[in-house]
Amino acid sequence: MKNVENQNSANTARPRVAVIGAGTMGGAMASRLLASGLGVAVWARHPESTAGLLELGATGHSSAADAVAEADVVLTTLPTLEATRSVMFDASVLDAMRPGTTWAQMATIGVAATEQLYGETVSRRPDVIFVDAPVSGSRQPAESGQLLILASGAEPTTGFLEPVFAALGKATLWLGPVGAGSRMKLVMNTWLAFQTEGAAESAALAERLDIDPAFLFEALRDSPMASPYAVAKLTKMVREDYGADFALDWALKDLDLVASDGGAEAAPVAMVIADRWRQLVADGASGLDVSAARRGLGVPVRH
């Protein structure tokens, strides 16, 4: 494993970047790249989601193939294997890339799916460099360039990928062959699920026991038990703030990938959390932040 602290360098090539997918994470990444002075072309399945990026200076395209045609680096942030295949293969976007282009697949779509994309890319376009690069972090870290990039595959030698990752992340871990990044992402998101559910259940128990939230936060201050992530989610829960930084639907999707790629027997508690979250999504929490895990825990939540 190689750990690279990401630092911008005036001597590094300035790549042209195409971002395919402008949802919560894709939009945040594109915004960060623009703020870092990089040229960004964008395409999204829902064109209205690119409006803010165009105001920031991105070049919009009605065709994903057109968006990648002049790019040195292509980032995909589409939510599923099916969506990624439909765009990159069925719509001939891979075919539109120039020789030597780096394709960084940055969405969490699972190990088997990532390896499938890689195999087909090698078969169809061996002159395109495929990098498996999911990230640890949500919208706010993406906007501030504080993601941890979990990269795997052959490190490109063109120098174009380095400034892109430097803009997006505080560090890049190079973990080995394609698929290793996606494996690590499933482990990281399982850890995230435990912290989210732990914050939710602690908040519900504190309310049931008539503990003032201010006292709970004071008890957690500087505690080695309290990660910044868990405290941030606890804060959203207490405020009943469910605006999505990382939607509960997508967190649930990732736990389902843990089951399919890693085996439910390896993470039985995570599977119980997944079942509860699945019910929350069915009951109306779809599109809400993972802080909505606070719902349904035995204490009425104000609306």
Are residues 153 and 20 part of one domain?
Answer: yes
Are residues 161 and 253 part of one domain?
Answer: no
Q: Is the pLDDT of residue 303 over 70?
A: no
The confidence band for 157, taking pLDDT boundaries of 50, 70 and 90, is confident
CATH number at residue 201: 1.10.1040.10
Are residues 227 and 84 part of one domain?
Answer: no
Q: Mean pLDDT throughout 236-260?
A: 96
Q: Which of 141, 176, 211 is the last residue of a domain?
A: 176
Are residues 158 and 13 part of one domain?
Answer: yes
Distance CA 27, CA 21 (A): 7
Pick 20 or 3 by higher pLDDT: 20
Q: Is the pLDDT of residue 108 over 90?
A: yes
Are residues 271 and 234 part of one domain?
Answer: yes
Q: What average pLDDT does the chain have?
A: 94
Q: What percent of the chain has pLDDT over 90?
A: 90
300 located within any domain: no
Runs of H (alpha helix) within 177-288: 180-208, 213-220, 228-239, 248-257, 268-280
- Packed helices 213-220 and 180-208: angle between N→C axes, nearest 10 degrees: 130
Q: What percent of the chain has pLDDT over 70?
A: 96
The total number of structural domains in the chain stands at 2
What's the pLDDT at 158? 77
Q: Is the pLDDT of residue 130 over 90?
A: yes
Q: Mean pLDDT throughout 103-124?
A: 97
Among all chains, which residue has been given the structure tokens 């929490």? 285
What's the pLDDT at 87? 97
pLDDT, tens only, 171-225? 999 999 999 999 999 999 999 999 999 999 999 999 999 999 999 999 999 999 9
pTM above 0.75, yes or no: yes
Are residues 70 and 172 part of one domain?
Answer: yes
**Hey, what are 83's tokens?**
């969506």
The dihedral built from the CA positions of residue 198, 181, 112 and 32, taken in this order, carries a sign that is positive
**Hey, what are 200's tokens?**
């939710």
43 beta partners: 20
CATH number at residue 93: 3.40.50.720
Q: Mean pLDDT throughout 4-33?
A: 84
Is residue 161 classed as helix, strand or coil in its secondary structure? helix
Distance CA 192, CA 83 (A): 25
Are residues 69 and 199 part of one domain?
Answer: no
Q: Is the pLDDT of residue 30 over 70?
A: yes
Are residues 170 and 281 part of one domain?
Answer: no
Are residues 150 and 60 part of one domain?
Answer: yes
DSSP string, 64-88: HHHHHTT-SEEEE--SSHHHHHIII
Among all chains, which residue has been given the structure tokens 């080995």? 176
Phi and psi (nearest 5°) for 170? -75, -25
256 located within any domain: yes
Domain region containing 288: 186-294
Are residues 159 and 83 part of one domain?
Answer: yes
Q: How many residues does the chain have?
A: 303
The confidence band for 11, taking pLDDT boundaries of 50, 70 and 90, is very low
What's the pLDDT at 236? 97
What's the pLDDT at 10? 44
Q: Which of 141, 157, 176 is the last residue of a domain?
A: 176
How many CA within 13 A on the CB side of residue 106?
A: 35
Q: Is the pLDDT of residue 300 over 60?
A: no
With beta carbons less than 8 A apart as the criterion, state whether 209 and 186 touch.
no
What's the pLDDT at 298? 75
Are residues 224 and 160 part of one domain?
Answer: no
Is residue 255 classed as helix, strand or coil in its secondary structure? helix
**Hey, what are 21's tokens?**
């997918």
The confidence band for 73, taking pLDDT boundaries of 50, 70 and 90, is very high
Are residues 171 and 24 part of one domain?
Answer: yes
